[in-house]
Amino acid sequence: MQRIMEPDNTQLEFSRCFPSIILASSSPNRKALLEAGGTKVSVFVPETDEEKKGSSPEEIVTNIASGKIDAYISSEAFDENILAIAADTLVYINGHLLGKPKDREDARTILKELSGREQIVISASGLYIPGKGKVMITDTASVFFHNLTEKDIESYLDTNEWMGAAGAYRLQKTGYRLVERIEGDWTTVVGLPLKLILKTACFN
């Protein structure tokens, strides 16, 4: 696929609806996604249990995101007058979930598994919407990888972009080169389903 050119219309529309927000996440990718459209982002890093609990991938990722937004709402940093977003993202393939790789070898194993195959990316967001309170949303997108050679994988591992990334790649940087196509919202793959957040928090 081609490199994603930012900001796109969704990012710009988001910044018009929400010039500033609280992001209850330490993810630099999520922060960059919002800032690319012009939104001012204040970061709150929640201290929560990210153990995978639930009977389905959607339930697991939703439970984690819910815990993060709850941590913000119950904190001294909570501001009832500003939109807050917490999020979690997991990759689902071949009947099991892929999270963030533990090390380079783990990242190599993940990329080999993704090579030439379809993966489902599940991103859940816990929202605090002024006047509405807490709202949970979940979105999915399908990502199809190219068939990767050993050289492709090692070259990508050398970028260190896999560190801290669900599925061991970052779409916004050079990870797009690994991807043949996406079916769904590309911001869901990055970790914040902006189209669904807009629909839920701005257009309703």
Report, as residue numbers or ranges, the catalytic residues. 88
Task: Name residues whose C-beta falls within 8 Å of residue 109's C-beta, 6 or more positions apart in sequence.
Answer: 101
Q: Which residue has the tokens 């709402």?
A: 73
User: Cα–chain-centroid distance for residue 162?
Assistant: 14
The whole-angstrom separation of Cα 63 and Cα 50 is: 9
- As a whole number of Å, the CA-based R_g of the chain is 17
Best CA proximity match to 1, nearest among 160, 124, 113, 142: 142
CB atoms within 10 A of CB 102: 9
Question: Nearest 5 degrees, angle CA 185-CA 97-CA 183?
Answer: 20
